[in-house]
Amino acid sequence: MSPRTNDGEREQPGQPDSGRPTPKARHATSGDHVPETETGTTGASGTTGASGTTGSASGAEAEETETATETGEPTEPARPTPAEAREATEPARPTAPEPAVGDVRVAAVRRVGAAGRRWRAVHLGACAAMLAVALTAGAVALGAAHEQRGMPVAAAAAVSPGLLAGGDLDASITALQAHLRAQPRDFGGWATLGLAYVEQARTKGDPSRYPQAEQALERSLALRADNDQALAGRAALAAARHDFAGALSFADRTLKQNPYNERALSSRIDALVELGRYDDADAAVCTADRRRPGVPVFTRYAYVHELRGDVTTARRVLDRALAASSSPGDIAYVAAQLGQLAWSQGDYATALSHYARALAADENYLPALEGRARAQAASGRQAEAIKGLELIVARYPLPGPLVELGELYEARARAGDAAKAAEQYALVDAWTAIARANGVNADLDTALAAADHGDRATALRAARDDWSRRHTVHTADALAWALHVNGKDAEALPYARQATATGYRNASFLYHLGVIEKATGHPQDARTHLSAALKLNPGFSALGAREARTALKTLEAAK
């Protein structure tokens, strides 16, 4: 995914759509990072709830005689039988064992590679094993002192406010499972559990939770087909799987039931942005602002303006959103957004200041940790950046930080760094294989990573597939670059120009355009855009910035 999208809304228990917002985190083409979301409670009666980023309280039914299998650990991501599907959404009995996380991921990747690609299955199987180790053991890398806190507050799902205060998403899921054992017909509880799984998948880089989220949300809808909280949850799940047409459809269905459902209003904006329908997204932001003004809408408003090149307005709106934020999750999210905006404009000192504020609010907040490492690298603090990214990928092995770390290894070029970089890129392949096995459309992630660090034909195929579904500036840029690395520069040029046509100030896009213009015999345009990329954000990429300078020197020498 490309943009910053926020999933956030919070409601007062028992008061629908009270409008106390919480934000959602920026995507990192690696996956969506989601901060603190709406809260909801499910008491003994199982009726109170909230709609928001992670979903609203709404529930589902289960027969008390069914065997429970949910334990809070990912289950095998294979397509379940009907009986298995029923069990997958049942609350867990504490004694019910589940397969080891590593075994699950190895099996998933091997299934993906089994058909006619034996050599790749072996390769991906090994990578998946490393990925599983990172997913399960990474908490140690970030420090055992934080182990009891679990996931950051900013990534918590719509569950009990008391549990949210502790920031432990796993504990929140366990509590929901216990509640649903006692109240299996609580449609609100099932919807909340489904959204909790969505957040767990996204924050831990673990797509195996998505099928379980789908089952829980479907259980909720089976109990009450018109409950807007579960419909909003389906919109969030579709967006997390990069099915943006589906996300838009579910958001529209939700808003027919409840025009003030903040989760659905936010998901609708996100889907329109990710489909490249920027004018419609602008109108949707205005509608959401009238109905449910707050941090989630403000941050989306800022991003829509940033996509049009209006950085001044984007920064002003984010400043106001930060001033209006009070919870740690909101502060971490908005401050990280400001840090990303400053970094993208080459203001690394300001970016680091914003990231520091975000981490003061939540020291485990992934977008701020990743952004800080990126800003450190751009500032010449390579050793700090590498150390930070190593800690990040140990716990959150997502494509974005994996590629960034691999490129920093390549740029450092010490003995053994080439092998370390190759390992990071192989883990991206493993992650995308697991993601696809669990219903995630990973075409954009694949195109971006494979164009520079993988199979070029695969990159082009993935980019074309993604473009066939949506026409965003990010997909246009990915397709242009995939065409370029495959020697199809004449075909690439219109897409590269389309990627920059909205005015979006992105140094990587300008770099790609300049390189493609150079290859197609437009030296003056190439010099203009390569210079613009380096002026805007001279440290936009450890490898890309270096290559941009080399290309510019070649053009200058040929004048």
CA atoms within 13 A on the CB side of 135: 29
pLDDT band of residue 201 (cuts 50, 70, 90) is confident
Backbone angles phi, psi at 11, to 5 degrees: -125, 150
Composition of the chain by helix, strand, coil, percent to 5: 65, 5, 30
Predicted confidence at residue 8, as pLDDT, reads 36
Name the band, by pLDDT with cuts 50, 70 and 90, for residue 167. low
pLDDT the model gives residue 19: 33
Average pLDDT over residues 510-534: 98
pLDDT at 51 > cutoff 80: no
What mean pLDDT is reported for the chain?
78
Pairing verdict, β 10-12 and 15-20: antiparallel
Residue 339 confidence (pLDDT) above 80: yes
The residues with which 27 forms a beta bridge, in sequence order, are 32
Strand partners, 334: none
Distance CA 315, CA 86 (A): 47
Cα-based distances in Å from 199 to 207, 356, 453: 10, 24, 29
Residues 81-105 pLDDT 10s: 434 433 444 444 333 333 444 444 3
| Res. 202 pLDDT band, cuts 50 70 90 | confident
Q: Distance between CA 186 and CA 180 in Å, rounded?
A: 7
Return d(Cα 304, Cα 311) in angstroms, integer: 10
Confidence bin at 172 (pLDDT 50/70/90) = confident
Extract the tokens encoding 408. Answer: 């920093």
Amino acid at 269: I
Q: What type of residue is 171?
A: A
Cβ-based neighbours of 392, under 8 Å, separated by 6 or more: 366, 369, 370, 373, 401, 405
Give per-residue pLDDT as tens, 223-271: 999 999 999 999 999 999 999 999 999 999 999 999 999 999 999 999 9
Phi, psi (degrees; rounded to nearest 5) at 73: -110, 150
pLDDT, tens digit (0-9, with 9 covering 90-100), for 268-299: 999 999 999 999 999 999 999 999 999 999 99
Neighbours of 491 (CB within 10 A): 15
Q: Which amino acid is at 296?
A: P
| Helix residue ranges per DSSP H, 413-506 | 417-437, 443-453, 456-469, 473-485, 489-499
Lowest mean pLDDT among 55-59, 110-114, 368-372: 55-59
Closest alpha carbon to 295 in 354, 259, 336, 258:
336
Helices (H), 6-90: 82-88
Mean pLDDT (whole number) for 421-440: 93
* Separation CA 463–CA 483 (nearest Å): 9
Tokens of 53: 């980023």
Instruction: Note whether 424 and 405 are within 8 A (CB).
Output: yes
